[in-house]
Structure 1
Amino acid sequence: MNPTTPTASAAVTPIALITGGSRGLGRATALHLTSLGSDVVLTYRSQQVEAQAAVAQIEAQGRRAVALPLDVADSRGFPAFAATLRDTLARHWQRERFDHLVNNAGVGVHASFMETTEAQFDELVNVHLKGVFFLTQQLLPLMADGGRIVNLSSGLARFALPGYAAYGAMKGAVEVLTRYLAKELGPRGIAVNVVAPGAIETDFGGGAVRDNAQLNAVIASQTALGRVGQPDDIGGVVASLLQPGNRWINAQRIEASGGMFL
């Protein structure tokens, strides 16, 4: 059977795993997915209360959800996390596999090239590149054939703004990694794409885009649609890539920035 062709298992409720799903873009993605009929496993690093609130919100929509702790910056914990996920799938869903992986968890560092420290650089590598690489590797045995992966990048991999050299470099690497994953996972029918948000009003990077009115206005003036993005704008894009109608989209970079810096 062609692995890119939906099978009878497609009728089973899909399960999506979203890293950093307790707030911001991850939470918005989870809510979009549940509205489209998916169940969700959220991961969080320290925001357990927010993660449980997200689970409650999902369950209120009639879907099932679980929140699991995970530090994506520490690859040493990935085997134990995979084992916990395996047990969680069996206990809550009586399943051995999940269907969709969204590598969303991230941290922001704003510092000029000359002022970026090695510690800041290493943190970005561990979260945005090493974490994505090795967590995906660890979880692939638990992913169903014909599944989907969406990695999160940034508009900063296309345009350059002072202070984001290290962050933009990590996201550029994720975009290259996405194409390699699509190539190597093709035989399993797993499509891999990357979504690159523009500036979004969240608490990411200290919430500057959300809380600094002057910065917000400048970005809005440089965006074709005339405003700064909202988490819901990105959650809808990510969720759409996991739907059956978009199964033929693969190895693509999709920027969701409202037309920023055209």
Structure 2
Amino acid sequence: MGSLEGKTALVTGASRGIGRAIAQRLAADGALVAIHYGSNHTAAKETLHDITTSGGRAFTLHAPLGDPEHIPALYQQLDTHLTSLNQPTTLDILVNNAGFHIPGTIHTTTSHDFDELINIHARIPLFLIQHALPRIPQGGRIINISSAATRVAHPTALAYSMAKAALETLTHTLAKELGPQHITINNIAPAFIKTDLNRHRWDTPTQAAATAAHSTFNRIGDPTDIADITAFLASHNSRWITGQTIDATGGTHL
């Protein structure tokens, strides 16, 4: 029996990259996984196919997350799917992974870019959690995907770094409030991971070598590296950890 047997998980931005790997790992550990996607229907179906053909249980949820007003509809979809599967309309694990990157320095960042990044990486997770809490039972887990950019200065990702820092503050603050319900909330902060988002960092041998050199292990992170940490934080084994940011950078810039 998997460590997450009988649990329901929602992973936002789960159609590709880190989100897909997280959804696959949680399903492998026994969770029923809601695969959220914003626009890439084909990729979400591929994630679903990968999970179900491996013996896991999952379903897809389509909802744009650009506006908090869309969040109630997302949870209504979740409830409908769970009811159709004769499952309780509870949510044991919420993984806030959806996001994107807009590069920009102090000289080039626009107010629009800033607003977009703060919205998707801080505002939306706040309201996803707010609407999830009535569904999360005692012992629930909330896991937010942050970034090494909050620790390692990255001048070309100024607004992105600020948005992820706000997410980490949200986590730290909520940990104290959610403690009495034994709900844990933690961040995972990756560095360079081999996904489509970072393709420009590994699409040539020279660039791949330069990116790998940032890590003490001299390799680029794989989405499964983050998925494995997420699975630990989603499990009972992480019950004594909350309000923390797990550095998942492979020793980048120690």
Q: TM-score range by the shorter chain?
A: over 0.9
With structure 2 as the length reference, what TM-score do the two structures score? 0.94
| 1:220 and 2:212 correspond | yes
Identify which of 222, 225, 241 aligns with 1:233: 225
Residue identity matched to 2:17 = G
- Whether contact under 8 Å (1:200, 1:209) holds in the other structure is no
| 1:18 and 2:24 correspond | no
- Whether contact under 8 Å (2:154, 2:161) holds in the other structure is no
CA distance in 2, matches of 1:222, 1:130: 30
1:53-202 alignment to 2 at 5 Å?
53-202=46-195
Deviations 1:122-169 (A, max 9, x none): 110110011111111112112222100000100000011221110011
- Whether contact under 8 Å (2:146, 2:187) holds in the other structure is yes
Q: What runs of 5+ residues in structure 1 fail to find an aligned partner?
A: 1-9
CA distance in 2, matches of 1:219, 1:11: 34
CA distance in 2, matches of 1:111, 1:213: 26
CA distance in 2, matches of 1:172, 1:11: 29
CA distance in 2, matches of 1:259, 1:83: 41
For the structure 1 residues 110 and 124, does the alpha-carbon distance in structure 2 shift closer, same or farther, using more than 3 Å as the test? same
- Whether contact under 8 Å (2:27, 2:58) holds in the other structure is no
Q: SS in structure 1 opposite 2:218?
A: coil
CA distance in 1, matches of 2:11, 2:135: 14
CA distance in 1, matches of 2:4, 2:117: 39
- Whether contact under 8 Å (2:44, 2:60) holds in the other structure is yes
- Whether contact under 8 Å (1:222, 1:261) holds in the other structure is yes
Which residue of structure 1 lines up, in the alignment, with residue 24 of structure 2? 31
Give the C-alpha shift of residue 12 in structure 1.
5.6
- Whether contact under 8 Å (2:91, 2:132) holds in the other structure is no
Residue identity matched to 2:213 = S
For the structure 1 residues 114 and 218, does the alpha-carbon distance in structure 2 shift closer, same or farther, using more than 3 Å as the test? same
Give the C-alpha shift of residue 215 in structure 1.
3.4
Total equivalences in the alignment: 252
Residue identity matched to 2:70 = G
| 1:40 and 2:33 correspond | yes
CA distance in 2, matches of 1:141, 1:62: 30
CA distance in 1, matches of 2:77, 2:134: 14
Deviations 1:98-120 (A, max 9, x none): 20000000011112221011111
Which residue of structure 2 lines up, in the alignment, with residue 242 of structure 1? 234
Q: Comparing 86-95 with 145-154, which one deviates more in the overlay?
A: 86-95
CA distance in 1, matches of 2:49, 2:66: 27
CA distance in 2, matches of 1:129, 1:105: 11
Give the C-alpha shift of residue 192 in structure 1.
0.3
- Whether contact under 8 Å (1:192, 1:251) holds in the other structure is yes
Which residue of structure 2 lines up, in the alignment, with residue 210 of structure 1? 202
For the structure 1 residues 212 and 11, does the alpha-carbon distance in structure 2 shift closer, same or farther, using more than 3 Å as the test? closer
Give the C-alpha shift of residue 11 in structure 1.
8.4
For the structure 1 residues 24 and 93, does the alpha-carbon distance in structure 2 shift closer, same or farther, using more than 3 Å as the test? farther
Give the C-alpha shift of residue 93 in structure 1.
4.0
Sequence identity (%): 39
- Whether contact under 8 Å (1:200, 1:210) holds in the other structure is no
Give the C-alpha shift of residue 212 in structure 1.
4.6
Residue identity matched to 1:230 = D
With structure 1 as the length reference, what TM-score do the two structures score? 0.92
